[in-house]
Amino acid sequence: MNSAASASQKMASRSPMAQLLHALNQPLTGLQCSMEVALASPRTAGQYVQGLREGLALTERMRALVEAMREITDIEEEKNTKPEIAQLSRLLQEAVEELKPVAESKGVRIFLLGVSEISCVVTAGRAEMANTIFRLVDSVVSLASRRTALQIEVYCESRAIRLRMQWQAEGSRSAHSRPELGLLIAQARLERAGAEWEREAMEAMETLSIRLPGV
């Protein structure tokens, strides 16, 4: 199992914000250690430069995490809006069509299966939901290994709609890379819309199941 998949399983029970707070601890600790080492004893100019580079890399990681935290905070603080009807399959089709050039550049084949006209109730506006679905598909395409398949399936399930995505993940991906952060933000938005989110990994294969209220 790759590091990202293993981390995803361990953190599955935590909210997106809790996962981000947990992830922030590592680069903060690393930056503190780097500064303590730099002050512990005299160092060469090259060693100071290397220490600064490492500190900048850690700072960049923290910046990405804080940006994601701010975005999730904005989602959580949004006022409730009047529920709307969204054609989930249509939003998925639009996202897949727009991301087709990106997927083709990686050799990722996207298979969209399920009912062509299927609706769900969302508490966010259609524009917000369209952006969330795009971000969801974009993140998964980025996480998928080159020259593999991404299967997306939409189907009805006892007054609910199930969205299932399955892909083969790259082994070297960080557990909190930008695509992983994109998934966390999409998770926060969808859970606010009443969705249930479940992500599982077995070896290199990952499966994401999202259950949304049906119409």
pLDDT tens readout for residues 151-186: 999 888 777 888 999 999 887 667 688 999 999 999
**Which pLDDT band holds residue 121 (cuts at 50, 70, 90)?**
low
Residues forming a β-bridge with 202:
205
The string of pLDDT tens digits covering residues 182-215 is: 999 999 999 988 899 999 998 889 999 999 887 6
Q: What angle do CA 168, 190, 128 make, to 5 degrees?
A: 110
Q: What angle do CA 10, 15, 19 make, to 5 degrees?
A: 55
Q: What is the pLDDT of residue 12?
A: 56
| Domains, the chain | 1-215 (3.30.565.10)
Q: What is the pLDDT of residue 1?
A: 46
The pTM assigned to this predicted structure is 0.84
Mean pLDDT of 55-83: 89
How many CB atoms are located within 10 Å of the residue 185 CB? 22
Of 51 and 12, more confident: 51
Of 115 and 104, more confident: 104
Mean pLDDT of 120-141: 84
Q: Which of 20-24, 132-136, 154-158 has the lowest mean pLDDT?
A: 154-158
Q: What is the pLDDT of residue 122?
A: 60
**Which pLDDT band holds residue 4 (cuts at 50, 70, 90)?**
very low
Mean pLDDT of 87-93: 86
Is the dihedral angle over the CA atoms 123, 159, 118, 140 positive or is it negative? positive
* Dihedral of the alpha carbons of 31, 65, 136, 157, in degrees to the nearest 10: 110
* Residues 6+ positions from 123 with CB-CB distance below 8 Å: 80, 81, 83, 84, 192, 193, 194
Residues forming a β-bridge with 9:
none
Mean pLDDT of the chain: 86
Q: What angle do CA 196, 198, 201 make, to 5 degrees?
A: 170
